[in-house]
Each structure stands twice: as structure tokens, then as C-alpha cells.
A and B are shown apart, each in its own frame.
Chain A
Amino acid sequence: MSFVSRIRDLRNSLWIEWRIALRFLADNPLQTLLISVAISVGAAVIVFITALMMGLQNNVIDRTLGTQAHIRIEATRQHNNFSETPEGKYIWALESPRAQRLQTINNWQEVRDVLDQNPILNTVSPLISGPAFAQKGTARASVAIMGIDPERYAGIIELKDYLQEGRFSVGASNVLIGVQLAEDLGLRTGDKLRLDAGDNRQSIMDVAGIFELGVRELDSRYVYTDLKQAQTLLNLPGGVTILELKISDVFTAEYWAQRIKKLTGLHVQSWMESNGQLLNALRSQTMTTQMIRIFVALSVIFGIASVLAVSVVQRTREIGILRAMGSSQQQILRVFLLQGGLLGLAGSLLGVMVGYTLVQVFNNIGERLFYIGLEPSMLLSAILIATASGVIAAMVPARRAAKYDPAVAIRYV
């Protein structure tokens, strides 16, 4: 038998199976409607819960990572070196840990240039950060000097968007300060501010603008200036203390951190490491969502299976007739598998529409907590999975129908 005629045979034989499956479903409209509604409720719950969780997590991640880098590279930590212990000997040592003085990343320009080549990394931003006192009159506050390359730093935190007043300007003698610091020291745009980094390194600065990042700790401590000014104040000419990175897929941060660590030998930390608690919370949320989805899907599958099992019994005699009319066991099997698939498809189409509507209601009506995004691929995969589940659910009843003894089935009343 040629390939073409095989294909034609399959198409021809599937034609009647489609027809019988559709007629059987249409023949019992109430049953079909009820199970479709049940499937659609399940699909709607899955779509809505998934979208809600994704929206919530994206929101939490955005807020957390909006004001920090995904990966931070620092100079290798200083530690005590011990000479190798001879075999069979023990050394008892009393170690006092080394103080971590501010130090620059060796060859940071080269490291930056290498990382710039990597398309995964969206931003590589050098930063020089160190402690200082801010002083106005007799009022003092401890602050962190943040020396930035403004263009690159925009990829980490878009400071312009957080400005409350003044203009975005760092460099020369201009600094940006947080609202909390401004309040503590009674500063306004255009005021003068003395920065004292110790060892008689002082500088008088102009407050060019005031920002509010929404994190109290940062708003009371960050003082942004440019690299050069910060290098002078912190006595690290030409150096930077941190390279900050952002990547497109935030959940791969730890992987890339490890790779960069191996590549450079520097001290590398991902946000996932420094926000362990948050990550834990996100993971348990994901797991909870997954469990809900699995159990809803299971109940939908069992729903379809039980409806089809009843339908197989109801149609015992008709199956017997079809077998006597010359249908094969495989044809009967496919008729019921198709019914399962069609129920899954119809129910999930309806369910996806309901889920979509629920998301729109959430986004547009009432107090908007956060925005839920809905990706078409997610809706499509929900439909595909539901249809496949329908076919799987139909397997047991369909096999039973195919195995009916036609001589017995035909006498079934």
C-alpha cells in the first residue's frame, strides 16, 4: 500500500470517527454542556491562579530588584594565608580576621569590557561606594557615597524616574540625595552639603536633586556623585569597588554569578543569594500554585473520564451495532478518544475566556493592587494541555468500549 493511499485511508477513516464523535456529543446536549462547564471552570481557575501568581511574583521581583543589581562583583575578600600543614602534623592557630578595608577591583576596566561582550548581561555598571559623614551646620548623618557612571547606572536604577525635585546631575560638585537624608539634615535643592570621608578628605557639595527610591534605608543613606569625585573622597584614585550587573532572566542570576566567579576569581554575589528569604517565599508560592493546578487538572481529568464511562455504558448497544456494521475496535477507540479531546478543547476554550475576563476584571476594577499580565502562549498552552488531558482521560472508557463483545453489546437494552 502506497504512502499516499495510507494517508487517504487514515483521513477517510478519521472522517467518520469525527462525525460519530460529534454526533454522540450533540446527541446528549445536557451532559455535554455540563461537563464542558465543569472543564471550563477548572481551566478558568488554572488560568487565573497562574496569571495571578505570575503577576504577584513579577510585582514582588520588580519592586525588590528595581533598586538593586542582579549580580554584584566586588574585590576578593581579604583573608589570612596559612602555610601548608606538613603531613601527619596539626597546627593550632588563633586567627584574628582581617579588616575589610575599601579596595578597588583589580583591572576593573578589563573585567567590565569582557562582561560587556556577554549578550546575557544587559548592564555592567561600575560603582565606587564607601562610608562618609554628611554635615550641614552641626547636624551630621552617616551616609554611603555612591560614585556612578550615570549612563551605565541608568541600567541598574533609572534615577531620573525617582527624582522628587531638582535635576539629574552628578559630577563636578553636584550630588543627589534621598528624601530621608534631606529631611534629617533639612536640605533642599541648591543647598550646600559637606561630605567627610575621614582622614581629612572633605568636600563641599551642591544638592542638585532629591530622590525617593521608596526604601527608607536607601533614601536616608545614598549620596550619588560621579566616579571621579567619589574616587577622590574615598582615596581610591581610578578605582571602583563594585561592578553591578543586570540580566534578562533574573532567575538565572545565581548561575551566571558562579560562572563570573570562576572566570574572574572575584567575589561575586547574586540577588538570589543575598535575598534568600524572598527567593524561598517565591519558590513556595510557585509550589503552591503548581499543587493547585495539578489537583484542579486531576479533577477535570476524572470528570471527563467518568462522564465518558457513563456514556460508553449508555451507548453499549450502538457500539455493538457499529461493530456489526463493520467498524474496527480501533475506530471505536478513536471515537471516544476524540470525544475526550473535543470536550477538553471546548471546555478549555470557554475556560480561557472566563479566566481572561477574570484577569481583566482584576486589572481594571476596584483597587488595583498590581498588574497581571497574560501571555497568549500561556492561554494556548492551557488549551493544548486541556485537550491532551481530555484524550488521556478518555483512554480507559475508550478501551472498554473497543473491547465490547459485539454479540453481547448488541442485545444490551
Chain B
Amino acid sequence: MSKSHILTHAADQSVVLQLDNINKIFNGGTPLENHVLHDISLQVSRGELVALVGTSGSGKSTLLNLMGLLDEPSSGELRIQGHLTQGLSEQQHTQLRSESIGFVFQFHHLISAFSVLDNVLMPLMLRYGKPSAEQLAYAEYLLNEVGLASYMRQPTNRLSGGQQQRVAIARALVTRPALVLADEPTGNLDTQTADEVFSLFERFNVEHQCAIVIVTHDPRLSMRCPRTIRLTDGRVVYDGPSADLPSLFSTVV
């Protein structure tokens, strides 16, 4: 099958995400040229939980979009599970995205026309059509894990912000992705709910061994990630254990 050949020649299966000298320039060659990312190089391995921090405008979301293949870098090499993504067609990007990556966004981004369960199943249904019994069972299991088993058949707009975000997490995990990208998943939630949601990320990180990259403004949460990458003006200024960061971080906040 053509679907799997993209991943067969992966060099190192433990490295989920590898960026080499990534640059991103918006409106290149025009007076509005904006060099957002400068020579970003980093690796994320299987089972890592990484916080991506920085002030607004530092390029966090742009970097996350590149990692998620929602956008393409201007130069540099981006590998997902060892496979170089440049030069792939739009269709291959879509396929790689649906195979390897799960997304969680700041504003939960559920599709209100569908029920909670259908939202969780959406990535599978888009790829395989009608869900199988096994897929259905797995979605129900995930909803149970995030504590929403009783809301399965309900429309999403009956849920609170924290509940919706938990649905989004279940949806991100339903394809058993190697990489989950979360863009300020707790940005809209109160402290207690944010803690609960974050705990889910920690749990699934351990249980499913998926790499998770979380963009966050909240130093309390970034401290709970073993590793922190800090961006300033589109450059990586820190990449290491979160425990060593506090002094740097607190000066900004």
C-alpha cells in the first residue's frame, strides 16, 4: 500500500521530529518581508514531553504549524519519524499528518455540527470512512479516560471549556499518533481546570509513549514538562531541562 511506504525507510524510529536550520520568512522579497524563524534546529524523541515557551510574537505558533505540516518552512529540513517532508505533495502532507500527528488547539476547535463521539472519531472517519467496531471502542475508551463517557452522544456546545478541551485531547490521540502538538491548550481555562487538562497530557505521554509539544504561557505548567524550548525573536535561546530555566523565565513574566 502506498500509504505506508513513506515511513518504511525511517532512519531512527525513536526520533519523532527533527528540525535542521529551519527558517520561515513571510512575504519574502517584498517590503513586508518578515523573518519569523531563524535557523531552528532541534529534535524531539518518542515519549518526550516538551514545553515550547516565549513571548507572543516570538514565533511559537509558526513553529508549531511547521511541525504540524500546516505550513512549510522557507528553508531548512524538517523530518517526521525520519522522513523528509520537503518536496512531498499536498496529498502526502495530508496523509503524513493524519498518520503521525495529533492537534490540540487553544480554542478547543470542535465541530459543533457533530456529537462529542463523532468529533473524537473525525480523524479516523476522514481517513477510513465508517468507523470499525474496534475504532469505536477505542474512541469510547479515550472519552472514558478523559472522564466524558456520559457525554458521548451530546452536541459539543453543551460542554464547558475544560470538557471541550478534554474532547480535543481524546480526538488528538484517537489515531495513536507519534507526535501531539498542543497550542496553548490551557490558555482559556481557569487554573484548576488547566491543571486537570495538563494532567491528561502527562498521563497519555507516559501511557501511549507519544511525544508531546505544548506551547504554553503558564510557567507552572511548563515547569511540569521535563524539557523546555524557549524562543525569543524567532531564535532558540534555551533548550534543556525545565528545572534549569526558572531564573531566565521569571524575568520575562
Residues of A bordering B, CB below 8 Å: 1, 9, 11-16, 19-20, 23-24, 26-27, 317-318, 321-329, 331, 405-407, 410
How distant is the Cα of A19 from the Cα of B129 in the complex, in angstroms? 10
Query: In the complex, are the beta carbons of B2 and A1 less than 8 A apart?
Result: yes
Query: In the complex, are the beta carbons of A11 and B129 less than 8 A apart?
Result: yes
Q: Which of A14, A326, A327, A410 contacts B109 (CB 8 A)?
A: A410
Query: In the complex, are the beta carbons of A13 and B70 less than 8 A apart?
Result: no
Binds A, one of B46-54, B120-128, B188-196, B205-213: B120-128
List the A side residues contacting B123 at CB < 8 Å: 325-326
Check if B1 is an interface residue, CB within 8 A of chain A. yes
B126 to chain A, nearest CB (A): 4
A-B contact pairs, 12 of them (CB 8 A): A9-B129, A13-B129, A16-B125, A16-B126, A16-B130, A321-B109, A324-B97, A326-B126, A327-B126, A328-B91, A331-B126, A410-B105
The A-contacting residues of B in range 128-150, CB under 8 angstroms, are: 128-130
Q: Which applies to chain A's interface (DSSP): helix, strand, loop or mixed?
A: helix
How distant is the Cα of A159 from the Cα of B110 in the complex, in angstroms? 77
**Which residue on chain A has the smallest CB distance to residue B112?**
A27
**Which residue on chain A has the smallest CB distance to residue B126?**
A327
List the A side residues contacting B90 at CB < 8 Å: 328-329
Query: In the complex, are the beta carbons of A322 and B126 less than 8 A apart?
Result: yes
Check if B94 is an interface residue, CB within 8 A of chain A. yes
List the A side residues contacting B1 at CB < 8 Å: 1
Q: Which of B71, B98, B105, B130 contacts A326 (CB 8 A)?
A: B98
List the B side residues contacting A19 at CB < 8 Å: 125
Query: In the complex, are the beta carbons of B113 and A26 less than 8 A apart?
Result: yes
- Interface size for B (C-beta < 8 A) is 31
Query: In the complex, are the beta carbons of A318 and B111 less than 8 A apart?
Result: yes
How distant is the Cα of A329 from the Cα of B90 in the complex, in angstroms? 8
Check if B201 is an interface residue, CB within 8 A of chain A. no
Question: Which of A24, A317, A328 has the most chain B CB atoms inside 10 A of its CB?
Answer: A328
Query: In the complex, are the beta carbons of B125 and A324 less than 8 A apart?
Result: no
Query: In the complex, are the beta carbons of B94 and A328 less than 8 A apart?
Result: yes
Query: In the complex, are the beta carbons of A16 and B113 less than 8 A apart?
Result: no
How distant is the Cα of A318 from the Cα of B1 in the complex, in angstroms? 30
List the A side residues contacting B151 at CB < 8 Å: none
Query: In the complex, are the beta carbons of A326 and B94 less than 8 A apart?
Result: yes
How distant is the Cα of A19 from the Cα of B90 in the complex, in angstroms? 24
**Which residue on chain B has the smallest CB distance to residue A318?**
B111
Q: Which of A9, A12, A20, A407 contacts B65 (CB 8 A)?
A: A407
B183 to chain A, nearest CB (A): 9
A26 to chain B, nearest CB (A): 7
How distant is the Cα of A11 from the Cα of B91 in the complex, in angstroms? 19
List the B side residues contacting A317 at CB < 8 Å: 109
Check if B114 is an interface residue, CB within 8 A of chain A. yes
**Which residue on chain A has the smallest CB distance to residue B1?**
A1
Answer whether A15 and B113 are a contact pair too, CB < 8 Å, given A326-B94, A326-B97, A407-B65: no
List the B side residues contacting A12 at CB < 8 Å: 128-130
B98 to chain A, nearest CB (A): 3
List the A side residues contacting B71 at CB < 8 Å: 405, 407
Closest 7 CB pairs of A and B: A12-B129, A326-B98, A27-B113, A407-B70, A23-B113, A15-B129, A407-B65
